Homo-oligomer: A and B are copies of this chain.
Amino acid sequence: MCRSFARMEYTPTDRTKIRRVPERANYDRELVHGVIDEALTCSVGFAVDGKPWVIPTIHTRVDETLYLHGAPANHMLKSLADGIETCVSITLVDGLVLARSAFKHSVNYRPVVMFGLATKVEDGAEKETALAALVEHVARGRGADARPPTANELRSTLVLRLPIQEVSAKVRSGGPLDNEEDLGLDVWAGVLPCTTAYGDPLAEPGIAAAAPGYLTRYGRP
């Protein structure tokens, strides 16, 4: 019973325990995985000489591991590979919350924040798995079409792994929470939903074939 509970939720730590509006905190594995998988990019934070950096990049998840990748000369990846702590933040915005009062305006969002030590992936098989997962993270089905990386390309890609362990999500949903005394004001209140929309695929010159179904009917997990 205990074990199955442990499997379903991450354990809050001092850093991931949400103190502000704690009822919006969420440590559910499935929810956290869902945000990570749905978001195309993340923001990677690290400190060099005590000074913060936040760099956007693309990520992918395999089970309980987040993978980052890039050129070996990449400042962010090099800094992390030195064995320093990172904080990775991923946010999906679901709607604008328009309250009657300016003060109660809000955003419906699902941020995930995780902390940990990223390490360089040295194992060749793990590196190939991570890079294959990255292509599938961009578009599910793409891996079967794209030319796989050569030995040279694998060598010129630095891949880092970050265990998904010290992590929390926060979920704000629903309408505005106006003060009772504002409910009678003659001000429209509600939610403007938002989502990421994908257009028609634009083929490169010389591509005569129709775009594959995973692009014409594109959707994120």
Contacts and interface: CB of A to CB of B under 8 A. Distances in A.
Interface of A: 19-20, 40-41, 43-47, 50-56, 58, 71, 73-75, 85-89, 91, 93, 96, 98-103, 105, 107, 109, 111, 113, 115, 131-132, 134-135, 138-139, 142-143, 145-150, 153, 157, 175-176, 182-183, 185-204, 206-207, 209-212, 215, 218
A134 B107 CA distance: 12
How many chain copies?
A: 2
Chain A binding site: helix, strand, loop or mixed by DSSP?
mixed
A175 B194 contact: no
A191 B202 CA distance: 5
22 contacts: A20-B75, A41-B109, A45-B52, A46-B52, A47-B47, A52-B52, A56-B91, A58-B107, A96-B138, A99-B146, A101-B149, A102-B135, A102-B146, A102-B149, A103-B150, A175-B204, A188-B210, A188-B211, A190-B201, A190-B202, A190-B203, A190-B204
